Amino acid sequence: MFGFLKTKDDPAAPATTSPATPAPRASWGERLKAGLSRTRATLNTPLTELFSRAKIDDELLEDLETTLLMADCGVEATHWLLDELKATVKKDKLETPAQLRSALAKGLQTLLAPLEQPLDASGHQPFVIMIAGVNGAGKTTSIGKLAKHFQSQGKSVLLAAGDTFRAAAREQLTAWGERNGVTVIAQESGDPAAVVFDAINAARARNIDVVLADTAGRLPTQLHLMEEIAKIRRVIQKAHDTGPHEVLLVLDANIGQNAVQQVKAFDKAIGVTGLVITKLDGTAKGGVLAAIARQCPKPVRFIGVGEGIDDLQTFRADEFVEALLGPSW
């Protein structure tokens, strides 16, 4: 895999620290491709057809607009991409649709490249990561996967069951913890901020490297819950001077343009430092990343491409675009 070779000499990329993982790494590229196959099916089939046309004309551009909109890129990002594309066509005197394809790939990459910033969970101990998101985005599942990810890097992990609201959320996290052999700090109901505070102190006492703090899902319109999560962040600061070291917002890739709204709202409340995109398998999407890149860029730390515990991967713009547009000819 091209990605494997590239990331290996990049010490900042956490996913590939273990040299014994070429096989899963290769399969991840495949998995991502398989996962994004639906995106490709919607994007690519028409795209292949589009780019095999004889010439670049208005009709082609309009169909391209349609296709991008269908992939959830959003009106704003789509228009931006098309404007860029038109400018390139004029400037470089592109003639064949095949050239247009590479121009589009380039445009998408320019757009998404700034989002490609893997998470470096060293430099602080414990490294406190706070997880937030709307209901059903996949926060707790992602935490399980993240725990596994950090463990594979040889780091010790502790989970804080900060979702004290939803029924059985604590049990769900405990179950994940058992599967990973990870301690879970939980309390009978109570204040989520208190659970997280406890967890950070416990982590310090036990010399743990990474603390993953779960929070209850909330919609940005529930103002009191947004205040509650802001409080959790303040309490983390109290428990750890430099924390939280990472505030991850978990986004469901199936969500449409509201994703942008969510990023903005959570950023306002808790200062989001990174995104986790879940459920990228079996969705026609991923396009919403373009909208996010345009309107409120945040680094995409991980993407979830399956239900397995290993199906959480670092985001790479070039692979993503490649998977989205299909191979170049």
Partner 1 sequence: MLDNLTQRLGRVVKNLRGQARLTDDNISDMLREVRMALLEADVALPVVKDFIARVKEKALGQEVIGSLTPGQALVGVVHRELTELMGGASVGLNLATQPPAVILMSGLQGAGKTTTTAKLGKWLKERQKKKVLTVSVDVYRPAAIEQLKAVSAQAGIDFFPSSAGQKPSDIAAAALDHAKRHYYDVIFVDTAGRLAIDEAMMAEIKDLHALLKPIETLFVVDAMLGQDAVNTAKAFNEALPLTGVILTKLDGDSRGGAALSVRHVTGKPIKFAGVGEKLTGLEEFHPERMASRILGMGDILGLVEDAQRGVDQDKAQEFVKKMKSGKGFDLNDFKDQIGQMKKMGGMAAMLDKLPAQFSAMAQKAGGGMEDKTVRRLEGIINSMTPGERSKPEIIKANRKRRIATGAGVSVQEVNRLLNQFEQTQKMMKQFSKGGMQKMMRGMKGMLPGMR
Q: Which of 60, 202, 284, 296 binds partner 1 (CB under 8 A)?
A: 284
Q: Which of residues 131-190 bind partner 1 (CB under 8 A)?
A: 134-138, 141, 165-169, 171-172, 174-176, 179
Instruction: Give the strand order in the sheet containing 210-213.
Output: 183-185, 157-160, 210-213, 127-133, 246-252, 274-278, 300-304, 312-314
Stretch binding partner 1 (CB under 8 A), from 66-74, 85-93, 150-158, 204-212: 66-74
Tokens representing 52 are 């095999």
Mask for 18-57, x = binds partner 1 (CB under 8 A): --------------------x---x---------------
325 with 47: CB under 8 angstroms?
yes
- Helix (H) / strand (E) containing 189: none
Smallest distance, Å, CB 222 to partner 1?
7
* Interacting residue with partner 1 among 5, 12, 87, 219 (CB under 8 A): 219
* SS3 state of residue 157: strand
The single residue among 164, 283, 313, 314 that binds partner 1, judged by CB under 8 A, is 283
Number of residues forming the site for partner 1 (CB under 8 A): 48
Q: How far apart are the first and last CA of the chain?
A: 18
Q: How many CB atoms lie within 10 A of CB 268?
A: 12
Angle ∠(297,298,300) on CA atoms, nearest 5: 120
- Within residues 80-109, the interface with partner 1 by CB under 8 A covers none
DSSP 68-106: HHHTT--HHHHHHHHHHHHHHHHHTT--SHHHHHHHHHH
User: Under rule CB under 8 A, which residues in 220-279 are in contact with partner 1?
Assistant: 220-223, 252, 254-259, 261, 279
Kindly state whether residue 214 participates in binding partner 1, applying the rule CB under 8 A: no
Residue 66 lies near partner 1 (rule: CB under 8 A): yes
Residue numbers at the binding site for partner 1 (CB under 8 A): 38, 42, 66, 69-72, 74-75, 134-138, 141, 165-169, 171-172, 174-176, 179, 219-223, 252, 254-259, 261, 279, 281-285, 287-288, 307
